[in-house]
Structure 1
Amino acid sequence: MIFTETKLKGAFILEIKKLEDERGFFGRSWCAKELAAHGLKHDIKQANTSLSLKKGTIRGMHYQNDPFQETKLIRCTRGAIYDVIIDLRKNSPTYKQWVGVELTQDNYKMLYVPEDFAHGFITLEDNCEVSYLVTQFYTPGAEAGIRWNDPEFKIEWPMNPEIISEKDRNHPNF
């Protein structure tokens, strides 16, 4: 696997190191040893999948509160998304900064999202499927969110959303 740290310390873009031949390629999309070697959490508790039917669907910005914070590894397995994370670690030098990454079925990139980060995405195509590996069990009472267009963060989304759930629409500003 290829690890590239983003400007947000501890958040990485991971790429599959492809071994290619006439059949196609083979590569790892998950390796606990490689994540551990980079000092990253790798104790997966759940694997989740979402399907968004329409281009312009926003999901987020989501996180779980202490002591149920999640580390996530996000991959778009069908279609294309613009994936965004916000650093909510109060003692971080990048506190309240965000990063956006295009994840597609063709680029095989994944986004490693540390604990205490908000996460969300907008679909760039119809029929987008996203896979999430998470280090914490979903805990309904611990879930939280920030409005996708909170002026505090000035996230530069590549398009205006067409579909937002009522829950995501009603997240408060930070």
Structure 2
Amino acid sequence: MKVEALAIADVKLITPPRFTDPRGFFSETWNPGRFADAGVPGPFVQDNHAMSVGIGVLRGLHCQIGPNAQGKLVRCIKGAIYDVAVDVRQGSPTFGKWVGAEISADNWTQIWVPIGFLHAYCTLTAETEVIYKVTGAYDKPAERGVIWNDPDIGIEWPVATDSVILSDKDKVLPRLRDLSALFHV
């Protein structure tokens, strides 16, 4: 298993090995002991599966606070996404900074987004499917979010602004500076 820390070291790219033969491949995409050794602690309590029809579907920037705050282990099983994590831990030297990586069915990479980060992804291909494990159960009252194009964060999305497809909820999220502290270090 290959593990790579991004510019914000708590966010990690993990590439499990794929063992191929004429029939196809086999890959162990989650193992609690191996992933804990790699800095992905779990335990995971819920798996989610999302399918996005078009290129430019942007889901995020989201997090949950409180006892159901979520760390996320994200992988793309069909197509490709650009995945982003934004540090929103007050007192962190990287507060308000972001990191991003392409995650795809082809590169077989997963991204670990720990508690204390906003998370979002944008589809780079049509008919994209994403599966992710979370460390906290879904809790609607604990949902928080920040607008995807907050100029104070300055995420460099790989799709044209006018081609981004958002949910109604994500269109009206506040800027980071308009929220009270979400997490503390």
> Deviations along 1:94-117, whole A, 9 cap, x unmatched?
111111111111111110000010
In structure 2, the partner of 1:3 is 3
Q: How many residues align?
A: 174
Percent identity over paired residues: 39
Pairwise CA distance, 1:27: 2.4
Answer yes or no: is 1:32 the counterpart of 2:53: no
The match for 2:172 among 155, 158, 170 is 170
- TM-score w.r.t. the length of structure 2 is 0.89
**Alpha-carbon distance between aligned partners in 2 of 1:107 and 1:9, rounded to the nearest angstrom:** 21
TM-score normalized by structure 1? 0.94
| Residue segments in structure 1 that go unaligned for 5+ positions in a row | none
Equivalents in 1 of 2:152, 2:171: separation in Å? 16
- Which has the larger helix fraction? 2
Please give the alpha-carbon distance, in whole angstroms, between the structure 2 residues aligned to 1:27 and 1:46. 20
Given that 1:9 and 1:94 are in contact with CA atoms closer than 8 Å, whether structure 2 keeps it comes out as no
Alignment of 1:146-157 (within 5 A): 146-157=146-157
| Cross-structure match for 1:96 | 96
Task: Output aligned runs, 1:107-146, within 5 Å.
Answer: 107-146=107-146
For 1:64, the equivalent position in structure 2 comes to 64
Match of 1:46 in 2: 46
SS at match of 2:125: coil
Shift of residue 65, structure 1, vs aligned partner: 1.2
Stretch moving more, 110-119 or 11-20: 11-20
What RMSD over aligned residues (CA atoms) do the two structures have, in Å?
1.3
Quote the Cα distance in structure 2 between the aligned partners of 1:23 and 1:29.
19
